[in-house]
Amino acid sequence: MNLLGQAIDWIIQNPEEFNRALGQHLLMSITAIVFALAIGLPLAVLILRHGSMAAAAINSVNGLRTLPSLAILAIMMPILGIGLWPSIVALTILALPPILINAYIGLRDVDADVIEAATGMGMSERQILRKIRIPLAAPAMFAGLRTASVQVLAGATLAPFIGGGGLGDFIAVGIAGMDQARLLVGAVPIALLALGTEFLLGQTERLLFGERRAA
Amino acid sequence: MITMKNVTKRFDGTGAAAVDDLSLDIPDGITVALVGPSGCGKTTTMRMINRLIEPTSGTILVSGRDVRAADAVELRRHIGYVIQQVGLFPHMTIAQNIASVPRLLGWDAGRIRARSSELMQLVGLEQSMLERYPRQLSGGQRQRVGVARALAADPPVLLMDEPFGAIDPIARTRLQNEFRQILKRVKKTVVMVTHDIDEAVRLGDRIAIMRDGRIVQYDTPETILSRPADGFVENFVGADRALKRLTLFSTGSIMTPGTGDASLPRVDKDGDLRDALSAIVAARSTAAAVVDEEGKMIGTITQAAILAV
Ligand SMILES: Nc1ncnc2c1ncn2[C@@H]1O[C@H](COP(=O)(O)OP(=O)(O)OP(=O)(O)O)[C@@H](O)[C@H]1O
Ligand SMILES: [Mg+2]
């Protein structure tokens, strides 16, 4: 409790430094999520059309998933150097698997009878995608977004290792200086961010798609 | 109206043809039931009409036009299609489901609304259900919506693949009877697939009995039941075919009008002759009194008259 009090004191006394780190953390995370969505969703549609590509894409993305976040950051360093951008790239890679896999499975596993009915009534492939598959896969896509967001917010903690900044800075400094209060300045907000996001997106998901599941 | 000429379908990598040199003429405005054992090619035959399956050889004409000359997607918008699992769109309301094809055809909102409400009435559903989601309906109600959706743009042709297959037997008979009335009213050319000969007899103006990708007999239910073409058909329609045939006639059409005898068992004038015979046998009688909707006796039907049909 005393440590937590010290951490809060530190934040009150160094608002700019804290806010800058928080801002970087959010910027990195949100940018990475946006990139992952921009890559993952179209890729899911693409591999849906070409079954042979699907296995290859899913397997390589799953391979990425088994790499620890730290390893991804380490791999990024020699390729992209240090700073914010390499962290964003690394976090995008972290966010891609849940987004791509959820979207792909959601799009693929739409009830075959529904597709048969849509085809039989004269919808084109494109119309089936837009009016049937995407809306029906939306809950799965959203679930992917939720998983990815939590992973990225937590994963961004490691960005300081490649000079990416963010709340992880405080943890790094705290560990280096054996200053537990400083460590908490980073750790507690990160945990709150991750939990809060999980909760908010969960509520949004229920709000958007709850009715469909009920009854 | 629908003409199939020497149509063959051979699926890739399979030996025997699923549909084998099949020819079939379906006149305007009648209902044809394709029946036969599982795997005989009923669904394949039907799905070639709206080009969900492309024939290996042969010609299919709908309203005199070769289906292969049309764009497949465009063709399907003018052919209603109902499947056993219904395939309603779960993320759309009933109203939106019914509006699917009219929307594809670019109808305006007012016309779609008017048509939807007309269709709900036709298939016997309450208007308030238009705002519900498919999940909130029973199986029978969903199947009615499936039919309303298929009829939405008033297509001249309706294809139905085992439309009652997923409905429990009691509700099924009632729904079949209602559908016969609906189909009579809308005057569509209907191709219906079933493996249930009773359903075919109840709904078909004609029945095509299939075996191994070929049609073995194509006739009215009356002829199929009274003069099966061969042993296969005879076996398929069942040992009770004479009794099934009696279901084709209403009691009212055979009775002798009169005041009737109060001591006789009573039968409904709109009931069929099988039920009338059953009532007579059950009462160990030789005749039954025929009553109308209000229960008034309007005539007599004798066992002899039934057997003479
Ligand atoms: N896509 C396909 N690829 C290969 N063979 C198929 C395909 N579709 C159907 N067949 C085969 O063609 C034959 C006819 O199938 P079809 O679905 O037309 O039968 P059916 O009469 O509708 O049977 P059921 O009453 O079981 O629905 C079957 O032997 C089936 O295995
Ligand atoms: Mg079938």
The number of distinct structural domains making up chain B is 2
**Is a pLDDT exceeding 70 seen at residue A117?**
yes
- For residue A172, the domain's CATH number is 1.10.3720.10
* pLDDT bracket for residue A212 (50, 70, 90): low
Number of A/B CB contacts below 8 angstroms equals 66
Of the residues B199, B227, B245, which one is the last residue of a structural domain? Answer: B245
Report the pLDDT averaged over residues B272-297: 92
Q: Are residues B302 and B239 in the same domain?
A: no
Q: Which helix (H) or strand (E) holds B224?
A: helix B221-226
**Is a pLDDT exceeding 50 seen at residue A112?**
yes
Q: How open is the CA angle B184-B187-B190, to the nearest 5 degrees?
A: 90
How far from chain centre, in Å, is Cα A113?
A: 33
Q: Would the CA dihedral through A130, B137, B87, A202 be positive or negative?
A: positive
Range of the domain at B257: 251-307
* pLDDT bracket for residue A1 (50, 70, 90): low
Q: Are residues B210 and B67 in the same domain?
A: yes
What's the confidence (pLDDT) of residue A214? 46
* Contact call for A114 and B101, based on CB within 8 A: no
**Is a pLDDT exceeding 90 seen at residue B259?**
no
Range of the domain at A154: 3-103+148-207
How far is it, in rounded angstroms, from Cα B252 to Cα B274? Answer: 13
Residue found under tokens 């020699």: A78
| Model ipTM value | 0.86
* pLDDT bracket for residue A213 (50, 70, 90): low
Report the pLDDT averaged over residues A127-138: 96
CA distance A123 to chain B (A): 6
Burial code of B62-85, b = ≥16 C-beta within 10 A, e = fewer?
beeeebeeeeebebbbbbbbbbbb
Q: Assess contact for B100 and B165: CB atoms under 8 A.
A: no
Q: Are residues B230 and B189 in the same domain?
A: yes
A24, part of any domain:
yes
Of the residues B245, B276, B292, which one is the last residue of a structural domain? Answer: B245
The region of weakest confidence among A69-73, A132-136, A173-177, B261-265 is A69-73
Q: Which helix (H) or strand (E) holds B44?
A: helix B42-49
Nearest to A121 among B91, B101, B133 (CB): B101
**Is a pLDDT exceeding 90 seen at residue B274?**
yes
CA distance B149 to chain A (A): 9
The number of distinct structural domains making up chain A is 1
* B88 has a chain A CB within 8 A of its CB: yes
| Closest to B6 (Cα-Cα) out of B19, A213, B14, B15 | B19
Nearest to A120 among B76, B89, B135 (CB): B76
Q: What is the pLDDT of residues A21-39, one digit of tens each?
A: 999 999 999 999 999 999 9
- For residue B119, the domain's CATH number is 3.40.50.300
How far is it, in rounded angstroms, from Cα A129 to Cα A124? Answer: 9
Q: Are residues B222 and B296 in the same domain?
A: no
Tell me how crowded residue B93 is: count the other CB atoms within 10 A of its CB. 16
Residue found under tokens 């809308």: B186
- For residue B281, the domain's CATH number is 3.90.1280.20
Q: What is the pLDDT of residues B179-213, one digit of tens each?
A: 888 888 888 999 999 989 999 999 999 999 999 99
B256 - beta bridge partners?
B300
**Is a pLDDT exceeding 50 seen at residue B154?**
yes
| Closest to B54 (Cα-Cα) out of B73, B41, B64, B68 | B68
B71 → chain A, closest CA residue: A122
What's the confidence (pLDDT) of residue A215? 38
Q: Are residues B301 and B169 in the same domain?
A: no
Q: Helices A168-176 and A180-213 sit at what angle, rounded to 10 degrees?
A: 150
Report the pLDDT averaged over residues B117-145: 93
The protein residue with its alpha carbon nearest to ligand 1, atom 19, reads: B39
* pLDDT bracket for residue B272 (50, 70, 90): very high
Of the residues B245, B275, B293, which one is the last residue of a structural domain? Answer: B245
Report the pLDDT averaged over residues B14-37: 94
At B159 the three-state DSSP class reads strand
Query: Which of B47, B52, B91 to substitute to test the interface with A, most A CBs within 10 Å?
Result: B91
What's the confidence (pLDDT) of residue A187? 93
Q: Are residues B282 and B188 in the same domain?
A: no
Furthest CA-CA distance within chain A: 69
Burial code of B237-250, b = ≥16 C-beta within 10 A, e = fewer?
beeebeebbbbbbb
CA dihedral B177, B182, B188, B191 (to 10 degrees): -30
A95 burial type by CB count under 10 A (0-12 exposed, 13-18 middle, 19+ buried): buried
Q: Are residues B68 and B125 in the same domain?
A: yes
Q: Are residues B175 and B282 in the same domain?
A: no
